[in-house]
């Protein structure tokens, strides 16, 4: 299949998913419900943390908005992964595979719609944060860097979810996509900076791949860059790893029952008298 053909397949998958979002806006709202709930909870009942001695960030709401922005972008990837699982469970994706020799284009289509979902979530969360008076110290370039980091995390989460969905091809696999994502996000410096953590949580946050982007995002918003190159390197590395994970998942789907693989059945040899 030509590059143009692959693009046609990817755009077709994306357009189909976008139409579903337009027809069912409640699905888009549910994707943003959890991040918005945490934003309200963090900046409400937990806002007292910002006034405790030793809290080093310039504003508690700004500190938490970075986490919530990343959470919204990653949840867009989670919901896209669940959509992939649903499409395979309903047989829609199997028909796509039968008509598409280059199956990576199918993954690309889901990635496109996941990015659109993430941008929508980022726009809504950012608008609400500004509406409640969150101070922003970073300039335009720093804000762009923050958004790019969020989109890179969205890509890695989408590919993670795609790999799970393609291996199990059932809606029930959504829990396997969601729970590890939740664990990774919350085993990090969620409420305070990492230097204020202690014990096992501090050790876990130190090796958590989500921690460098979170800390770098907070540095960008505060106009005090902190390990920015490391954060982009980690996010890019996650994309590469999960891209391989998703591609292997697609191969698994091709070989599985109803996977739509292109292998033809072997013909039986003819016996002559």
Distance between alpha carbon 93 and the CA centroid of its chain, in Å? 20
Structure tokens at 95: 């028909």
Closest CA to 103 of 238, 1, 16: 1
**Per-residue pLDDT in tens (0 to 9) along the chain, 273 residues:** 455 556 777 777 888 778 877 777 766 777 788 888 888 888 776 777 777 777 788 888 999 999 999 999 999 999 999 999 988 887 776 777 776 767 778 888 899 999 999 999 999 999 999 999 999 999 999 999 999 999 999 999 999 999 999 999 888 899 999 999 999 999 999 988 888 888 899 999 999 999 999 999 999 999 999 999 999 999 999 999 999 999 999 888 877 654 444 443 344 444 443
Closest CA to 17 of 130, 116, 136, 90: 116
pTM of the model: 0.87
* Residue-level pLDDT at 89: 80
* Residue-level pLDDT at 3: 56
Q: Which residue ranges make up each domain of the chain?
A: 3-255
CA distance 237 to 196: 27
CA distance 54 to 27: 41
Q: Are 242 and 85 in contact (CB under 8 A)?
A: no
């Amino acid at each position: 299949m030509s590059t143009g053909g692959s693009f046609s397949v990817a755009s077709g998958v994306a357009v189909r998913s976008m139409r579903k979002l337009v027809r069912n806006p409640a699905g888009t709202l549910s994707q943003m419900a959890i991040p918005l709930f945490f934003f309200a909870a963090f900046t409400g009942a937990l806002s007292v943390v910002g006034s405790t001695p030793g809290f080093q960030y310039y504003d508690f709401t700004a500190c938490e908005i970075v986490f919530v922005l990343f959470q919204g972008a990653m949840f867009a990837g989670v919901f896209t992964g669940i959509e992939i699982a649903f499409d395979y469970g309903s047989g829609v994706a199997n028909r796509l595979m039968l008509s598409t020799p280059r199956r990576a284009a199918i993954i690309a289509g889901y990635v496109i719609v996941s990015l659109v979902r993430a941008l929508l979530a980022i726009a809504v969360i950012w608008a609400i944060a500004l509406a409640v008076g969150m101070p922003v110290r970073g300039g335009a370039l720093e804000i762009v860097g923050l958004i790019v980091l969020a989109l890179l995390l969205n890509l890695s989460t989408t590919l993670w979810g795609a790999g799970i969905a393609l291996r199990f091809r059932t809606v029930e696999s959504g829990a396997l996509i969601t729970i590890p994502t939740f664990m990774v996000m919350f085993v990090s410096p969620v409420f305070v900076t990492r230097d204020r953590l202690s014990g096992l949580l501090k050790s876990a946050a130190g090796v958590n791949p989500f921690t460098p982007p979170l800390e770098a995002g907070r540095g960008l918003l505060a106009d005090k860059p902190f390990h920015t190159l490391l954060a982009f390197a980690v996010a890019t590395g996650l994309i590469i790893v999960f891209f391989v994970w998703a591609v292997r998942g697609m191969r698994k789907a091709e070989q599985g029952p109803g996977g739509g693989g292109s292998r033809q059945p072997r013909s039986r040899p003819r016996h002559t008298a």
